Chains A and B, each alone.
Chain A
Amino acid sequence: MLTVLFVDDDPDIRFIAEMSLGFDPGFRVRLAGSGAEVLECVQDEVPDLILLDMMMPEMDGCDTFAALKDKLDPMPPVIFVTARTRSEDVTRLIELGAVGVIPKPFDPLQFAALVRGIIG
C-alpha cells in the first residue's frame, strides 16, 4: 500500500483526484490544500509519493518543494500536476528534482494509471 499525498488549493480538484486515485487499490490517498498544510501533514507521517499542484497562493509548488527538501531526508518522490506544460517549464521542474509532470487538466479515468506509470 502506497500513501499518496495530493496537494491542490482547489477543493473540487482534490475531491476528483481522491476519487480518481481511488481506482488503484494500491493507493491510500491523503489530501492537503496548501504548502503550509503539506508541511504539517508530513510531520505525522511521511507519504510515499507527493502530487504537487504548481499554482497555489502564498507557497506555490516550487516553494513547497524546496521547503519539503529542507525538512525531509530521504525525500519522497514528487510529481508536479500543472497547467504549465511548455517544454521549458517541464524541463525546469525535472531539473529541480521532480520524478514527473502530469499536465492539467488530467483525465480522471487515466490519472491513477498515469501516476503508476511514472513511479514504476
Chain B
Amino acid sequence: MSPTWTGLFGNLALVSVLVLLWGFISEQSHIIPRLMRRIGYGLLCGAFCYIVIAYGTQILPDFKFDLRHALLGVASYFGGPISALIAGSMASFARLEVGGAGTQPGLIGIAISTSVGLVMHYATRRRQHLISSHVLLSCALMFGLGLSFVAVPAELRLDLLRSVGLPLFGLNFVATLVATILIGRQLHQRDTVQINRIYARMVQELPECLNAKDRDGRFIAANSATARLMRATSADDLIGKTDFDFFPADIAEQFRKNELDVMNNQTSAWIDQQVLFPDGKLIWLSTLKAPLYDQSGRVIGLITRNRDISEQHKLDEMKDQFVSTINHELRTPLTSINGALALLAAGAAGPLPEPVRRLVDVGHSNARQLLNLINDVLDLEKIESGSVAFDPSPVVLQDALKDAAFGFEGYLPEKNVRLRMRDQTGGKITINVEPLRLQQVLHNLISNAIKFSPKDSEVVLELTRDAAEIHLAILDEGPGVPPEFESRLFKRFEQADGSSRRRMGGTGLGLHIAKEIAERSGGRIWYSRRDGRVTAFTLSFPATTSKAAVRTEHPK
C-alpha cells in the first residue's frame, strides 16, 4: 500500500473521532445556544484540518494530500457560514504554515470546498437528513477538488493526479459520505427525541385519559389522567399491569372482550359505558379504542381514550327534568286561563256585552297563541336534543296524506278552501318514517297552505316521483313567500310578515320544526313557486337510498 493510501486511511480514522465529538456538541443543544454550537463545530473541524494538514504524511516535497475537503464540506454543510468561516480560516492558516509550491492550489481547494459545503447548506436547508443530499454534497466536493488542480502547474498536474488521484478523490468522497450520514442520523435522532418529548408532554397534560396496551392487555404507556382515573399512584405504576389488577374480574373481563374485538377486527370502537370503580364510584365513560400497529402494519396492541362524561350525563338529566318542570308549570296556569276565557267567550256565564266579548276574545286568542308557542318550543327542544325517538315504520304515503287531509274538515270554514289529492305515482308508495312525525309535518304544511290561500280556492296534495326522490308537495294559490325572505324561511322565529303572526296565529317555529323532522327522517323540505301563481312546499324522500326503505306496490 502506497504511503498516500496509508496516510489518508489515517485521516479517515480521525473523521470517526470528529463525528463522535460533533455528536457530543449537538446533544448539548439544551444548554449550549445555537451560535455557540456552530462556533464549536467550526473550531472542531478547523482543529482536525490543522492536524491533518500540519501533521499528515508528506509524500511530495511541496504538496500535501489529506481529507481536509471532507472536513470543510461537513463543517459548512451542517454548521452554516459561521462554522465554515472558522474551519476555513484554520485550514488556510495550517496550509500557509506548511508553505511550498502547493500553497496556492491548496488554499484554492480550501476555499472551494468551504463554498461548496455552504451552497449545499442553503440548498438543502430543511432536507439535510436525506441521503440524496449527502451524496450530492460528496459529488460536488469532488468536483471542487478537481477544479483546484487547475492551479497546479501544468507540468506537474498529470503526474500528481496519476500518483495520488485515486486515494485522494476516493477517500475524500467516502469520508464525506460517512461523516454526513452519521451526523445526519444524529441530528435526526436528536429531533425525534425532542418531538417525542413534546408529544409525551402534551399527552401527559391532556385532561382526557390516554393509554396504550399490548396484545395481552398490559399497559405500555399511559398519561397522568389515566393514572388518576384508575386510582393508580402514577402513570409509571400502570406500566406492565392489566385491568385485572384494578377492576373486579367481571368488569375487567368485559373490557378485555371489547379490546380483543378491536384488535381482531382492526376497527375502532366508540363505547359509552357506565363503570363501577373499585372505590365504589360510578362513572360514565366515553371510550374510544383503536388498534395500534407496528411499522409493518401488524396489530401490536391498542390505544384507548377515556373521557369522564358523568357531569354531562348529570346535566342532561337536569335539563330533562327542567324541561319537564317548565312543561308542567307553564301549562297549568295557561290551562286555567285558556279554559276560563273559552268558557266566557262561549257564553257559559251568560251573554256578554259587545266590548266585553271583544276583550275576552283578545285575551283568549293570545293565551292560545302562548300555549302554541310553549308547545312548539318544547317540541323543538325534544327534537333537537334527540330525546324524541324516530322509530321508523312503513307508511303508505297515499294513506298518510288522506289521514292528514281528514283532520282539516271544517277548518276555517269561512275561507271555503277545498283539499284535493293528485297522485301521479301510479301505485302505492311505502316509505320508512316515524308516522306521527310525518303527520305533524303534513299538518303544519297543510294548515299553512289553507291559512294563506285566497277564499274559495284549492289546496292540492300532490304525490310524484322521479328517479332519485319521492316528492310530496302541498300546493296553494296564496301569495307565496317574498323572494328576500326565502333564505330565512326555515329558520326559527322567522315570519315573512310580523303582522301575520297575530293574524294567522303562527309561532314562527312550525317550518323550522318541519325541517328538523324531515331531515331527521332522512328527507328534506323545500320551497318553490310554480308558474308564478302556485306556492309549493315539498317534502322529498330519497327513492334509492335503500331498497328496503322505499317500496312501490303496483295495484293488481
The answer to whether the Cβ of B328 comes within 8 Å of any Cβ in the partner chain is yes
Chain A residues with CB under 8 A of B335: 13, 16, 104-106
Known: A83-B328, A87-B436. A105 touches B340 (CB 8 A): no
| A12 partner, pick from B327, B340, B348, beta carbons under 8 A | B340
Q: Tell me the residues in window 300-335 of chain B with beta carbons closer than 8 Å to chain A beta carbons.
A: 324, 327-328, 331-335
| B346 partner, pick from A12, A17, A55, A109, beta carbons under 8 A | A109
CB pair B371 A105 closer than 8 Å: yes
| A83 partner, pick from B327, B338, B342, B436, beta carbons under 8 A | B327
CB pair B342 A10 closer than 8 Å: no
The answer to whether the Cβ of A93 comes within 8 Å of any Cβ in the partner chain is no
CA A46 to CA B333, docked complex, whole Å: 30
CB pair B436 A20 closer than 8 Å: no
CB pair A105 B343 closer than 8 Å: no
Chain A residues with CB under 8 A of B331: 83, 104-105
Q: Tell me the residues in window 327-361 of chain B with beta carbons closer than 8 Å to chain A beta carbons.
A: 327-328, 331-336, 338-340, 342-343, 346, 348
CB pair A10 B348 closer than 8 Å: no
The answer to whether the Cβ of A108 comes within 8 Å of any Cβ in the partner chain is yes
CA A13 to CA B342, docked complex, whole Å: 13
Chain A interface secondary structure, helix, strand, loop or mixed?
loop
Chain B residues with CB under 8 A of A108: 338-339, 342-343, 346, 348
CB pair B436 A16 closer than 8 Å: no
**Nearest CB on B from A85, distance (A):** 10
CB pair A13 B332 closer than 8 Å: yes
**Nearest CB on B from A97, distance (A):** 24
| A55 partner, pick from B328, B334, B340, B342, beta carbons under 8 A | B328
CB pair A20 B340 closer than 8 Å: no
Closest to B375 in A: A105
Chain A residues with CB under 8 A of B342: 107-109
Known: A16-B343, A19-B343, A87-B436. A105 touches B338 (CB 8 A): yes
CA A105 to CA B338, docked complex, whole Å: 8
CA A94 to CA B385, docked complex, whole Å: 27
Known: A13-B332, A87-B436, A105-B371. A20 touches B327 (CB 8 A): no
Chain B residues with CB under 8 A of A17: 339
Interface size on B, residues (CB 8 A): 18
Q: Tell me the residues in window 64-103 of chain A with beta carbons closer than 8 Å to chain B beta carbons.
A: 83-84, 87
Q: Tell me the residues in window 180-196 of chain B with beta carbons closer than 8 Å to chain A beta carbons.
A: none
Chain B interface secondary structure, helix, strand, loop or mixed?
helix
CA A108 to CA B348, docked complex, whole Å: 10
CA A93 to CA B371, docked complex, whole Å: 25
CB pair A13 B328 closer than 8 Å: no
A8-43 vs B, Cβ < 8 Å mask (1 yes, 0 no): 001011001101100100000000000000000000
Chain B residues with CB under 8 A of A55: 328
Chain A residues with CB under 8 A of B338: 105, 108
Q: Tell me the residues in window 124-155 of chain B with beta carbons closer than 8 Å to chain A beta carbons.
A: none
Chain A residues with CB under 8 A of B348: 19, 23, 108
CA A107 to CA B336, docked complex, whole Å: 10
CA A29 to CA B371, docked complex, whole Å: 27
Closest to A110 in B: B342
Chain A residues with CB under 8 A of B328: 55, 83
Known: A55-B328, A104-B331, A105-B371. A20 touches B339 (CB 8 A): yes
CA A107 to CA B324, docked complex, whole Å: 22
Closest to B382 in A: A86
Closest to B324 in A: A84
CA A106 to CA B336, docked complex, whole Å: 10
Chain B residues with CB under 8 A of A105: 331, 334-335, 338-339, 371
**Nearest CB on B from A24, distance (A):** 13
Chain B residues with CB under 8 A of A106: 335, 339
CA A17 to CA B348, docked complex, whole Å: 12
Chain A residues with CB under 8 A of B340: 12, 16
CB pair A20 B332 closer than 8 Å: no
Chain A residues with CB under 8 A of B336: 10, 12-13, 16
CA A10 to CA B334, docked complex, whole Å: 12
**Nearest CB on B from A114, distance (A):** 13
**Nearest CB on A from B288, distance (A):** 32
CA A106 to CA B339, docked complex, whole Å: 8
Closest to B345 in A: A109
Q: Tell me the residues in window 17-50 of chain B with beta carbons closer than 8 Å to chain A beta carbons.
A: none
B60-94 vs A, Cβ < 8 Å mask (1 yes, 0 no): 00000000000000000000000000000000000
CA A23 to CA B334, docked complex, whole Å: 21
Chain A residues with CB under 8 A of B332: 10, 13, 83, 104
**Nearest CB on A from B14, distance (A):** 86
CA A105 to CA B331, docked complex, whole Å: 7
CA A80 to CA B447, docked complex, whole Å: 29
B415-457 vs A, Cβ < 8 Å mask (1 yes, 0 no): 0000000000000000000001000000000000000000000
Which of A104, A105, A106 has the most C-beta atoms of chain B within 10 angstroms of its own C-beta? A105
Q: Tell me the residues in window 211-257 of chain B with beta carbons closer than 8 Å to chain A beta carbons.
A: none
CA A21 to CA B334, docked complex, whole Å: 19
CB pair A13 B339 closer than 8 Å: yes
Chain B residues with CB under 8 A of A10: 332, 336
Chain A residues with CB under 8 A of B327: 83
Chain B residues with CB under 8 A of A84: 324
**Nearest CB on B from A117, distance (A):** 16
Name A's B-contacting residues (CB within 8 A).
Answer: 10, 12-13, 16-17, 19-20, 23, 55, 83-84, 87, 104-109
Give 6 A-B pairs besides A10-B332, A105-B331, A107-B342 with Cβ atoms closer than 8 angstroms: A17-B339, A84-B324, A105-B339, A105-B371, A108-B339, A108-B342
User: What 3 A-B pairs have minimum CB-CB distances, sorted nearest first?
Assistant: A105-B335, A16-B339, A12-B336
16 A-B interface contacts by CB (under 8 A): A13-B332, A13-B339, A16-B335, A19-B348, A20-B343, A23-B348, A55-B328, A83-B331, A104-B331, A105-B338, A105-B339, A106-B335, A107-B342, A108-B343, A108-B348, A109-B346
